[in-house]
Amino acid sequence: MTLHRLARASVMCCLLATLAGCGGGFGSGLFGGRNRDATIPSDAQLNNKSAADAQRAALAKANGDDKPRSTLFDLFSNAADPNTTVEVNKYLWVAAQDVLNFLPIESVDPFTGVLVTGYGTPPGGGRSYRATVYVQDPALDARSLRVALQSRGGGAVAPETQRAVENAILTRARQLRIQDAGL
């Protein structure tokens, strides 16, 4: 029976030592809080401390160490950043797919706004084209849209053709926006 008590006592000592190792050291108070016997710092000490904290924060940001650490409990919390948004205009995105529907889609990434198509011939045309569309802003604006066209035979496409495709996408996007406003 004494062996059983000795084993239980050693396990308890190990658990207490492990728990003590989780503390912040002497003077950190219970569970990492402030010690009651700590002295109140003077204004000069506070100014020096805030300057040192600002310097540490700037250094951490420059090194990329300013991001908060994640724990196991973060998996079970709903702590998603509400400021994270998809910055793609949905009208431009859908309009680009509508206007270039004769081209086979090779890759689509709606989160970055990139649409890459394969070669295809427009209705009534004789040349084969491929397009890469980049919607880079949530605004329904011409600055938000970048279109790159390439022909199979000659490579580069006339600027008028590229501008006509951009205008067709912008016009279709405005039509879709007006259609949604009418609901």
What is the strand order of the sheet 129-135 is part of?
A: 105-109, 114-117, 129-135, 145-151
Go through the chain and tell me how many residues it has.
183
Mean pLDDT by 10 residues, the chain (183 residues): 74 68 53 50 54 70 65 64 69 93 91 91 88 90 91 86 94 93 75
Tokens of 85: 């948004």
Domain residue ranges of the chain, discontinuous segments joined by +: 90-181
- pTM value is 0.54
pLDDT of amino acid 164: 93
Sign (positive/negative) of CA torsion 159, 161, 166, 171? positive
Record the tokens describing residue 143, joined without a space. 């600055």
Domain 90-181 has CATH 3.30.300: no
- pLDDT at position 76 is 64
Spell out the residues 6+ positions from residue 137 whose beta carbon is closer than 8 angstroms to its own: 87, 89, 143, 144
Q: Which tens digits make up the pLDDT trace of 50-72?
A: 666 776 776 676 666 666 666 66
Coil, strand or helix: which one is 130?
strand
pLDDT of residue 162: 92
For residue 102, the SS3 value is coil
How far is residue 52 CA from its own chain's centroid? 30
Q: CA 127, CA 124: separation in Å to the nearest integer?
A: 10
